Copies of this chain bind each other. A is one copy, B any other.
Amino acid sequence: MANTIRASVVQTATAAYSLEATLDKLERLTRLAKERDGAQLAVFPEAFIGGYPKMSTFGLVVGERRPEGRDEFVRYAKAAIEIPSPAITRIEQISKETNVFLVVGVIERDNGTLYCTAVFVDPEQGYLAKHRKLVPTAMERIIWGQGDGSTLPVLTKTFESADTPGSSVKAKLSATICWENYMPLLRTFYYSHGTQIYCAPTVDARPAWQHTMTHIALEGRCFVLSACQFAQEKDYPADHAVADANARDPNNVMIAGGSVIISPLGKVLAGPLLGEEGVITAELDLDDVLRGKFDLDVTGHYARNDVFEFRLREPTGPGSR
């Protein structure tokens, strides 16, 4: 019984575009996951650092951009972080002090382009790698650039066994952000590299999201850890766009949550958490991955490499420089 670890998903919101306050939240919630639940791994939502500008239009209609939209973009770009930067250093310190491996959704600034990114931070080695979202969805396409094949890490992390002190557990981790989870080829890539802990930072709070999370757990025979934001109007700057400008209320829900942890055989282990911030935690028995692959390994015995050709192209984008 030595093959388990304890993992948390944190459901929370950016602190009104304030980097410092948001990093403080990250510290507080990581400590909670550690101290209350014994977490060794914690996943934070998409765009947690930097913020998800829900309801904004950035002054756009087809064929025109208004100047105030550009100003909104400047404000948003300034709330983003570079890698490396002091913000990354702070996250490394939090990880080190709590001994919790962190997967955190951030808005990354690189020159004049922003990316929706997830960073992997190790308690001992610090910042390890990042994943940039490959395809922004709908309006996101006007504020975020596209990642490329150079930032699709599947990392191997050795944890201490959660139930057998002194024994170690190896696990492979990856991150897939929001509607990237609908991309069958991206998932196939991660499966083929053996992801076992499939982190899914998101802001998609629709009920239908749960179907896709369960499907992915079953399809990939991996643990799915979906971390969604729970955000209210008070979590945004006071002048931020809202659903109904005539009914502003600090408690109005902007993003409803739905964070969840699911096993490789499709069993919901924790969550979905709805209607509040919070931390959910589950014990992950890594052997469940093998139990699942017994009858389905879509890039192994259940693949048809003779019928379908699939491969990652050589990375070509800016991230590959």
Does residue A146 face the partner (Cβ distance < 8 Å to B)? yes
Q: Other than the known A112-B194, A144-B301, what 20 A-B pairs have Cβ atoms closer than 8 Å?
A: A62-B139, A65-B138, A70-B292, A77-B290, A111-B192, A111-B297, A111-B299, A112-B292, A141-B141, A148-B305, A149-B306, A179-B296, A183-B304, A184-B188, A189-B308, A192-B318, A211-B266, A212-B219, A308-B311, A313-B316
B302 touches A309 (CB 8 A): no
Number of copies of this chain that the complex holds:
6
Does residue A135 face the partner (Cβ distance < 8 Å to B)? yes
Does residue A273 face the partner (Cβ distance < 8 Å to B)? no
Does residue A137 face the partner (Cβ distance < 8 Å to B)? yes
Q: How far is the CA of A52 from the CA of B61 in the complex (A)?
A: 12
Interface on chain A toward B: helix, strand, loop, or mixed SS? mixed
Q: How far is the CA of A100 from the CA of B274 in the complex (A)?
A: 45
B52 touches A62 (CB 8 A): yes
Interface residues on A, range: 35 or more
A→B interface (CB under 8 Å): 52-58, 60-65, 67, 69-71, 73-74, 77-78, 110-113, 134-135, 137-146, 148-149, 179, 182-189, 191-192, 194, 203, 208, 210-212, 214-216, 218-219, 221, 241, 255, 266, 287, 289-313, 315-318, 320
